Amino acid sequence: MRREVLAIMASVSQSVAPDAFGPAVALSCRECGARTPLAPNFACAECFGPLEVAYELPAGDPEGLRKQIENGPNNIWRYAPLLPVSPDVAERPSLNPGLTKLVKANNLARELGVTGSLYVKDDSGNPTHSFKDRVVAIAVEAARTFGFTTLSCSSTGNLAGAVTAAAARTGLRACVFIPHDLEAGKVVMAAIYGGDVVGIEGNYDDVNRFCSELIGDPTGEGWGFVNVNLRPYYGEGSKTLAYEICEQLDWRIPDQLVIPIASGSQLTKIDKGLKELIALGLVEDKPYKIFGAQAEGCSPVSAAFKAGHDVVRPQKPDTIAKSLAIGNPADGIYVLDIVRRTGGAVEDVNDEQVVDAIRLLARTEGIFAETAGGVTVGVLRKLIESGALDPAAETVVLNTGDGLKTLEAVADAARPTAVIRPTLDSFREAGLA
């Protein structure tokens, strides 16, 4: 079996153009370090550990690279020299996500008692209003290179919309799989672009298991599952969050970052991106702390962190933060390694705290976050109150999606402050003058 897998990967590797993946040179196992050719594969043939992209990144001229990036497109393709994509990627059809706002959140800072600089990296400004557009954009380039004709995924919602939109833009067929009880806004977002949206009875982990079976069946031939067989490439899109944050801070790493945890891939790749910027000399090498945020109703990584465990025990999700509701997070153990290495922590908040945090961010900064953003802001508040996060240090908190996708969470806000007659007297009587 192992020989067959290696033969397939070698065949694929020989069939792609030499520069199709830019500076990427191989897939590397995160467990044993074994390297294999770049191919649509996610598991090591030696130890079955997860694979990630390994690079030979440009070195020796940080100032020249910095200028090249700053003069690049106003999207993630400005970082093409650091990604597994062709040098001409910016000329191809794409949704061109990225370069979203880094908002100086002074009002939120005052509300929370933060005395240092506080920023919200607001990724709701992406084409389908979530950070998933970043990871899908990289996965699409890999799918094209490998000759896939159908783009697919298992999704808690945002990814499904990002995949169907990207497929529409690039001319690929899309067929995505979601839990049957997903929020209506996310179902609409996935379906409107014309792809097939399939509801699976069960939670995300059930959906993911089904997709793993489909990918090994002849029925799935020619299918690129962005978060399964294309996962090593897909994950690299999250590095662009690290790149953008540092560039927007005038090429500086913030002291602290608060990042939501679903599978854990986003957090691990942001850390990878920061380490790459340091190695390339694009930012100063300095300590930074990474904090992970989960919803209490699906907090396997938080539970493991608090118990001091190195293994993440799966949980059955039960939370309004459905975009984070992955009970068996693939990168959970790597999240634990990172937060411990950097001196951070993993914390969780309950559904009531999530809703309160959504309202707080909207009221103070005019940013309407989806439930995942409520989780990160809620965890930020909790970390400050517990003393785990330094309120005087420069901090970036991530909002990864738009609140219009999770209106159910704040449905009680969907009513007027008052209903009055169209007269000034009625207005005064309502106490609004």
Closest CA to 375 of 346, 404, 395: 346
Q: Are 270 and 398 contacting, i.e. CB atoms less than 8 angstroms apart?
A: no
Backbone angles phi, psi at 217, to 5 degrees: -105, 150
> What CA–CA distance (Å, rounded) separates 413 from 359?
9
Give the global pTM: 0.93
Helices 239-248, 62-70: inter-axial angle, 10-degree rounding: 90
Q: Which pLDDT score, from 0 to 100, does residue 1 have?
A: 39
Q: Which pLDDT belongs to residue 157?
A: 87
pLDDT at 15: 64
- Whether 302 and 330 have beta carbons less than 8 Å apart is answered as no
Domains 1-16+131-231 and 102-129+236-413 share a fold: yes
Determine the pLDDT at residue 3: 45
Give residue 416's pLDDT: 85
Q: Domain 1-16+131-231 falls in which CATH fold?
A: Rossmann fold (3.40.50)
Which amino acid appears at position 226 of this protein?
V
252 and 278 Cβ atoms separated by less than 8 Å: no
Per-residue pLDDT at 182? 85
Over residues 209-230, the mean pLDDT reads 91
pLDDT value for 315: 96
Decide: 299 and 315 in contact? Cβ < 8 Å.
yes
pLDDT in tens, 84-100: 999 999 999 999 999 99
Comparing 73-87, 90-104, 291-305, 412-426, the range with the smallest average pLDDT is 412-426
| Cβ count near 291 (within 10 Å) | 25
% of the chain at pLDDT higher than 90: 85
- Taking 90 as the threshold, does the pLDDT of residue 34 lie above it? yes
- Domain regions of the chain by residue span: 1-16+131-231, 102-129+236-413
Mean pLDDT of the chain: 94
Closest CA to 280 of 20, 82, 98: 82
Residues contacting 123, CB < 8 A, separation 6+: 100, 130, 131, 134, 241, 398, 399, 400, 401
CB atoms within 10 A of CB 31: 13
- Tell me, what's the pLDDT at 96? 98
**How confident is the model at residue 156, as a pLDDT?**
86
Decide which of 416 and 50 is more confident: 50
Average pLDDT over residues 379-393: 98
Given a cut of 90, whether residue 311 has pLDDT beyond it is yes
Q: Give me the mean pLDDT over the 171-193 stretch.
A: 92
User: Between the ranges 13-17, 324-328, 346-350, 426-430, where is the mean pLDDT highest?
Assistant: 346-350
Considering the segment(s) 102-129+236-413 as one domain, its CATH architecture is 3-Layer(aba) Sandwich (3.40)
Cβ proximity of 269 and 261 under 8 Å: no
CA distance 290 to 398: 12
The residue-averaged pLDDT of 8-28 equals 75
Whether the per-residue pLDDT at 11 is higher than 50: the answer is no
pLDDT, residue 433, reads 86
What's residue 370's pLDDT?
Answer: 95
Sorted by sequence, the CB contacts under 8 Å of residue 87 that are 6+ apart come out as 19, 22, 80, 81
Average confidence (pLDDT) over 280-308: 98
Return the HEC string of the chain: CHHHHHHHHHHHHHHCCCCCCCCEEEEEECCCCCEECCCCCCECCCCCCEEEEEECCCCCCHHHHHHHHHCCCCCHHHHHHHCCCCCCHHHCCCCCCCCCEEEECHHHHHHHCCCCCEEEEEHHHCCCCECHHHHHHHHHHHHHHHCCCEEEEECCCHHHHHHHHHHHHHCCEEEEEEECCCCHHHHHHHHCCCCEEEEECCCHHHHHHHHHHHHCCHHHCCEEECCCCCHHHHHHCCHHHHHHHHHHCCCCCCCEEEEECCCCHHHHHHHHHHHHHHHCCCCCCCCCEEEEEEECCECHHHHHHHHCCCCCCCCCCCCCCHHHCCCCCCCHHHHHHHHHHHCCCEEEECHHHHHHHHHHHHHHHCCCECHHHHHHHHHHHHHHHHCCCCCCCCEEEEECEEHHHHHHHHHHHCCCCCCCCCCHHHHHHCCCC
Question: What is the per-residue pLDDT for 372?
Answer: 97
Lowest mean pLDDT among 1-10, 214-223, 321-330: 1-10
